[in-house]
Structure 1
Amino acid sequence: MADQRLERLIRQLQRHTVVGLDTAVFIYHFEAHPRYLPLTRVALSRIQQGHQQGVTSTITLMELTVRPCQLGRRAVAYHYEALLVNFPNLLLVEIDRSVARRGAQLRARFRVRPAEALQVAAALTHGASAFLTNDHGLARLNPIIDIIQLDD
């Protein structure tokens, strides 16, 4: 079963040169989630090796560092930030007016939550044709971007 999920993910990723990444991809990877680590390892390795360009936004930075900050583990939060900023072939996008406008359009058309709208808008604005997530609610965005689910 795991092998099938990995093969499916690789096939889906191979169709794209630029892939947006949702926060969950990084959380699962950094926390070594037993169900998702094999999948995130493949996705992030492909980006690191230059098979795809990855795109995520500063929303990922915020969401990724909340828990370490709550636990008083600022060093972990800084480490996560350093990993994001220095990750090869990963663009960490600031949320600017252009991304905010596109996010508003996505919210209006597809009724997605604000953070998700901004994440996908950042990916689209920077050329992504796919978005890797575990948020099944984003499947409604498939008409404009290929939503790739970690989970079946």
Structure 2
Amino acid sequence: MGKIEDAIARMVGHRVYLDTNVFVYFLDRNPDYFSVVAPIIEAIDSGLIIGYTGDAAVAETLVKPYQIGNPALVESVKTFFGMEDFLSIQPHDAETFDLAAQLRAERGLKFIDALHYATAIQAGCKFFLTNDGGIQSSDVLEVVPVKTLAE
């Protein structure tokens, strides 16, 4: 099996948090990473993997469609995130923001990365799929870098 198949096999049945860049690669059909993230999105859609993300990831994914003034693309992104029985989109409550502040202070993460990390922890995720090199694994959350799956 290849790296992507091995990663999916390890994630089957577990909660996996997807960072914004995963959605951008998928929705933009990024030439470098689409073939990596598409099977993972498909595994979530089929129920093999329990997919999670946060409201912040949805908002970040909407920035470019709003920037370029494309209302059809905005609606397409909203429809993607609104699919039934697909992703669990977590809100960012006071407890999550507090944990994010702690993570930023302790680990030196950018605040948005700390917020994603905290949201993944609060949601009980085992894996965190990202392409952000500043986010590292801990004893509660295993970071899976997209770029390593593409190698």
Q: TM-score, normalised by structure 2?
A: 0.89
Task: Kindly indicate whether the alpha-carbon contact (under 8 Å) linking 1:107 and 1:113 is maintained by their aligned counterparts in 2.
Answer: yes
Q: Which residue number in structure 1 is paired with residue 85 of structure 2? A: 88
1:148 and 2:132 correspond = no
RMSD of Structure 2 on Structure 1 (CA): 1.6
1:66 and 2:63 correspond = yes
Q: CA deviation at 1:94?
A: 1.3
Q: CA deviation at 1:108?
A: 1.5
Task: Kindly indicate whether the alpha-carbon contact (under 8 Å) linking 1:12 and 1:148 is maintained by their aligned counterparts in 2.
Answer: no
Aligned counterpart for 2:100 among listed residues 87, 100, 103: 103
Instruction: Summarize the Cα distance change of 1:84–1:6 in structure 2 as closer, same or farther, 3 Å threshold.
Output: same
Of Structure 1 and Structure 2, which has the larger fraction of its residues in helix?
A: 1
Counting aligned pairs with the same residue, the percent is 26
Aligned counterpart for 1:120 among listed residues 107, 117, 121: 117
Distance 1:51 1:89 in 2: 11
Q: TM-score, normalised by structure 1?
A: 0.89
Runs of 4+ in 1 over 3 A off after TM superposition: none
Count residues in correspondence. 148
Q: Which residue number in structure 2 is paired with residue 10 of structure 1? A: 8
Deviation per residue, 1:3-52 (Å, 9 max, x gap): 733234324424x6100000011000001112211111111111111112
Task: Kindly indicate whether the alpha-carbon contact (under 8 Å) linking 1:48 and 1:87 is maintained by their aligned counterparts in 2.
Answer: no
Unmatched runs of 5 consecutive residues or more in structure 1: none
